[in-house]
Structure 1
Amino acid sequence: MGRTKNYPNILVKPQTENKLSIESLQQIMNCSHDPIFVTDKYGNCIVSTDSFSMAYRTLGLKPQELVGKNVRDFIKAGIYNWSPTLKALETGSTVTGLIKTINGSEIMVTSTPVKDDNCQIIMIVTNIRDKDIVEKYSEELKREKNETERYKMAVEYLGKVANSDNAVISESPQMKKILETADIVAKTESTVSLYGETGTGKEVLARYIHHNSRRVQRPFIPVNCAAIPQKLFESEFFGYVKGAFTGANPQGKMGLFEIANHGTLFLDEIGELPLEMQSKLLRVLETGEIQRIGSIKTERIDVRLIVATNKDLRHKVDQEQFRSDLFYRLNVIPFTLPPLRERKEDIGALAQKFLGELNAKYGLHKVIPPHTLRVLLNYNWPGNIRELRNVIEREYITSTQDGIKVKFEAADSSAAGLASPSREDKAGGAYKGTLKSVLKKVEAEYINEVLNECNGKVGEASRLLGIHRTVLYRKTKLSI
Structure 2
Amino acid sequence: MLIVDDFLKSRLAEVIEWFPDGVYVVDGEGYTLLVNSAYEQLSGARRAELIGRHMAELVESGFINCSVSLLVLQTKRMESLMQNLRNGKQVIVTGNPVFNQQGDVELVVTSVRDITELNRITAELDKARGLSALNRHRYHVADAQETNLIAESPIMKDIVEQIRQVAPYPTSILLSGPSGCGKEVIANAIHQLSNRRNQPFIKVNCAAIPEALLESELFGYEDGAFTGARRGGKSGLFELADKGTILLDEIGEIPFQVQAKLLRVLQDMRVQRVGSMQVRSVDVRIISATNQDLRSLVEQGRLREDLYYRLQVVDIRIPPLRERPEDIEVLIDFFFDHYRTTYRIDKRLRAETKSLLFRYHWPGNVRELKNLMENLVVSVPSLVIEPYHLPPHIQRLQSDGPTVRPLREQLKSMEREIVLTALRQHRTYRAAARALGMDHSTLVKKLKQWNVKP
Q: TM-score w.r.t. structure 2 length?
A: 0.53
The aligned residue for residue 17 of structure 1 is none
Q: 1:217: how far off?
A: 0.6
Unaligned stretches of 5+ residues in structure 2: 1-145, 397-454
Contact 1:375 1:407 in 2 (8 A): no
Aligned partner of 2:222 among 230, 241, 256 = 241
Which residue identity lines up with residue 295 of structure 1 in the other structure? S
- CA distance in structure 1 between the aligned counterparts of 2:193 and 2:172, rounded to whole angstroms: 15
Aligned partner of 1:388 among 369, 374, 377 = 369
Q: 1:406: how far off?
A: 4.5
1:410 aligned onto 2:391: yes
The aligned residue for residue 255 of structure 1 is 236
- CA distance in structure 1 between the aligned counterparts of 2:393 and 2:178, rounded to whole angstroms: 18
Q: Which residues of 2 match residues 33-72 of structure 1 at below 5 A?
A: none
Contact 2:222 2:275 in 1 (8 A): yes
Q: 1:243: how far off?
A: 2.1
Which residue identity lines up with residue 197 of structure 2 in the other structure? V
The aligned residue for residue 204 of structure 1 is 185
Which residue identity lines up with residue 263 of structure 2 in the other structure? L
Structure index of larger Rg: 1
The aligned residue for residue 356 of structure 2 is 375
The aligned residue for residue 399 of structure 1 is 380
Inter-CA distance 337–327: structure 2 relative to 1 (3 Å threshold): same
Inter-CA distance 294–350: structure 2 relative to 1 (3 Å threshold): same
Contact 1:379 1:412 in 2 (8 A): no
Contact 2:179 2:365 in 1 (8 A): yes
- CA distance in structure 2 between the aligned counterparts of 1:210 and 1:255, rounded to whole angstroms: 20
Which residue identity lines up with residue 371 of structure 1 in the other structure? E
Inter-CA distance 259–336: structure 2 relative to 1 (3 Å threshold): same
Contact 1:289 1:299 in 2 (8 A): yes
Inter-CA distance 194–407: structure 2 relative to 1 (3 Å threshold): farther
Q: 1:383: how far off?
A: 0.5
User: Percent identity over the alignment?
Assistant: 47
Partner-residue secondary structure (3-state), 2:353? helix
1:345 aligned onto 2:326: yes
Contact 1:399 1:405 in 2 (8 A): no
Q: 1:408: how far off?
A: 9.6
The aligned residue for residue 276 of structure 1 is 257
- CA distance in structure 1 between the aligned counterparts of 2:244 and 2:233, rounded to whole angstroms: 22
Contact 1:375 1:408 in 2 (8 A): no
The aligned residue for residue 286 of structure 2 is 305
Which residue identity lines up with residue 248 of structure 2 in the other structure? L
Q: 1:261: how far off?
A: 0.6
Inter-CA distance 406–223: structure 2 relative to 1 (3 Å threshold): farther
The aligned residue for residue 124 of structure 1 is none
- CA distance in structure 2 between the aligned counterparts of 1:271 and 1:408, rounded to whole angstroms: 39
The aligned residue for residue 166 of structure 2 is 185
How many residues align? The count is 251
Q: Which residues of 2 match residues 11-410 of structure 1 at below 5 A?
A: 166-406=147-387, 410=391
- CA distance in structure 2 between the aligned counterparts of 1:214 and 1:306, rounded to whole angstroms: 15
- CA distance in structure 1 between the aligned counterparts of 2:292 and 2:231, rounded to whole angstroms: 38
- CA distance in structure 2 between the aligned counterparts of 1:343 and 1:413, rounded to whole angstroms: 19
Contact 1:182 1:209 in 2 (8 A): yes
Inter-CA distance 326–408: structure 2 relative to 1 (3 Å threshold): farther
Contact 1:235 1:293 in 2 (8 A): yes
- CA distance in structure 1 between the aligned counterparts of 2:288 and 2:238, rounded to whole angstroms: 14
Partner-residue secondary structure (3-state), 2:386? coil
Partner-residue secondary structure (3-state), 1:226? coil
Inter-CA distance 272–407: structure 2 relative to 1 (3 Å threshold): farther
- CA distance in structure 2 between the aligned counterparts of 1:240 and 1:219, rounded to whole angstroms: 20
- CA distance in structure 2 between the aligned counterparts of 1:394 and 1:413, rounded to whole angstroms: 14
Contact 1:352 1:368 in 2 (8 A): no
Unaligned stretches of 5+ residues in structure 1: 1-164, 415-421, 423-480
Q: 1:240: how far off?
A: 1.0
Q: Which residues of 2 match residues 418-429 of structure 1 at below 5 A?
A: none
Q: 1:247: how far off?
A: 0.7
The aligned residue for residue 87 of structure 1 is none
Q: 1:271: how far off?
A: 0.5
Q: TM-score w.r.t. structure 1 length?
A: 0.50
Q: 1:189: how far off?
A: 1.1
Partner-residue secondary structure (3-state), 1:306? strand
Partner-residue secondary structure (3-state), 2:348? coil
Partner-residue secondary structure (3-state), 1:227? coil
Inter-CA distance 188–372: structure 2 relative to 1 (3 Å threshold): same
Residues 410-449 of structure 1 show CA distances to partners (whole Å, capped at 9, x for unaligned) of 25379xxxxxxx9xxxxxxxxxxxxxxxxxxxxxxxxxxx
State the structure with bigger RCO (CA 8 A, min sep 6), 1 or 2.
2
Which residue identity lines up with residue 243 of structure 2 in the other structure? H
Q: 1:296: how far off?
A: 1.8
Inter-CA distance 407–286: structure 2 relative to 1 (3 Å threshold): farther
Q: 1:188: how far off?
A: 1.1
- CA distance in structure 2 between the aligned counterparts of 1:317 and 1:282, rounded to whole angstroms: 14
Residues 106-138 of structure 1 show CA distances to partners (whole Å, capped at 9, x for unaligned) of xxxxxxxxxxxxxxxxxxxxxxxxxxxxxxxxx
Contact 2:353 2:385 in 1 (8 A): yes
Q: 1:404: how far off?
A: 2.0
Partner-residue secondary structure (3-state), 2:207? helix
RMSD: 1.9
